[in-house]
Amino acid sequence: MNAALAPASTGFAARLRLDALELPALAAIWGVSFLFMRLAAPAFGPVPLVELRLALGAAVLAPLLWRARAQFPLRLWPKLALVGAVNSAVPFVLFAWGAERAPAGIGAITSALTVLFAALVGFVFFGEKIGGRRALALLGGFAGVGVLAAGKTAGAGIGWAVAAGCAAAFLYGVGLHLVRRHLGGLPPAAVAGATLLSAALLMLPLAIAHWPQQAIPARAWGAALMLGLLCTGLAYALFYRLVARIGAARTSLVTYLIPLFGVAWAWLLLDEPVTASMAAAGALILAGVWLARREAH
C-alpha cells in the first residue's frame, strides 16, 4: 500500500467501523426509552415526566443551539414552538400515557409507523404521490396495528395504548413535514434543541399543575433522568451526527431496529412477554416500512 494513502485509508476504515456501531447504538438508546417510560410514568404521570424529558434533552443540546443562535431570530420561535408541540410534547405524552397501560414493547412497535404516517400525510395534505408499493405498505402497516390492538398481554387489553402510540407516530409524521417545509436550511441539531426548549416551556404550567403529591421512588427518578439526558438529548445529537456522516437515508435504517431493541429490552429487564400478536404486528409494520422506504428511494 502507498504510504501516503495508508493514513487516509485507515481513517476511513475506522470511521466505517464507528458508523456501523453507532447506528445500532442509537436504535438501542431509542429502544430503551420505552422501558424508561414504563418505569417512570406510573410515579410521575405522563405530563411531569415529559416535562423533565424535554427540559433535560434541551439542556444537553443547549450548546449547539447557543452556537447557532444568530440563525434563530425571534420571528422564528412561533414556528419552533408549533413543531415542538407537534413533534415532541404531544407524542411524548401519548407514549408515556400508553406506557402506564401496556408493555414497553407496544410503544416501540407503534413508533415504527412514523415512516408510513409521513407518507400518508404527504399524500393527503401536501399532494405528494403515493405509488402502488407505498399503498401496499400502508395497508400492511395498518393491518399490523389491527393485530396489535386486538391482542392482550397478561389477559389485559392494550387497544388504547396502541391507539396512543399510533397517534404519536402520526404526529411524528406531521412533524417531519413541518420541519422540512418551515425549518429547512437551519442546523438540525440546533433545531432539535430549540423545539425541545419551546416544548418544555409550553408544557411547564401543566407539569406544575399535575406534579405528583406523593414521594417519587429513586428508580423512577433514575429512569426519568436517563430518558431525558440519554434517550432525548444525547440521542438527538448522535442522530444528527450520523445524518451528517452517512446521510439521512442510511440513518433512517434505525427505524427497523428500534422496535426490536424496545421489545428486547422490555423482555430482558422487565420480564415482559413477547406475544404472538406483538410478533405478527411487528412483522407486518416493519414490512410496510421496508416497502415504503424502498419506493421512496
All three cell numbers of 31? 429502544
Q: What pTM was computed for the model?
A: 0.88
- Quick one: pLDDT at residue 153? 63
Question: Residue 71 has what DSSP assignment?
Answer: G
DSSP readout, 6-65? Answer: HHHHHHHHHHHHHHHHHHHHHHHHHHHHHHHHHHHHHHH-HHHHHHHHHHHHHHHHHHHH
Amino acid 265 reads W
Per-residue pLDDT of the chain (297 residues; tens, 9 = 90+): 444 444 444 444 445 455 668 889 999 999 999 999 999 999 999 999 999 999 999 999 999 999 999 999 999 999 999 999 999 999 999 999 999 999 999 999 999 888 888 888 888 888 888 777 778 888 888 788 878 777 766 546 788 999 999 999 999 999 989 998 889 889 999 999 999 999 999 999 999 999 999 999 999 999 999 999 999 999 999 999 888 887 776 777 788 889 999 999 999 999 998 888 888 888 888 888 887 766 555
How many angstroms separate the CA atoms of 277 and 46, rounded? 26
* Neighbouring C-beta atoms of residue 192, cutoff 10 Å: 28
The backbone region for 184, taken as left when phi is positive above 0, alpha when psi lies in -120 to 50, beta otherwise, is: beta
pLDDT given for residue 180 in this prediction? 87
Helical axes 6-44 vs 90-99, angle rounded to 10°? 60
Smallest Cα–Cα separation from 259: which of 92, 63, 46, 103? 103
What is the model's pLDDT at position 287?
86
Which residues, other chains included, contact 205 with Cβ-Cβ below 8 Å and sequence gap of 6+? none
CB atoms within 10 A of CB 280: 15
Q: Look at residue 161 in the predicted model and tell me its pLDDT.
A: 92
Query: What integer pLDDT is reported at residue 277 of this predicted model?
Result: 84
Give strand ranges (E) for the chain.
Answer: 152-153, 156-157
Instruction: Determine the Cα–Cα distance for residues 41 and 126; give it in Å rounded to an integer.
Output: 35
pLDDT score of 6: 45
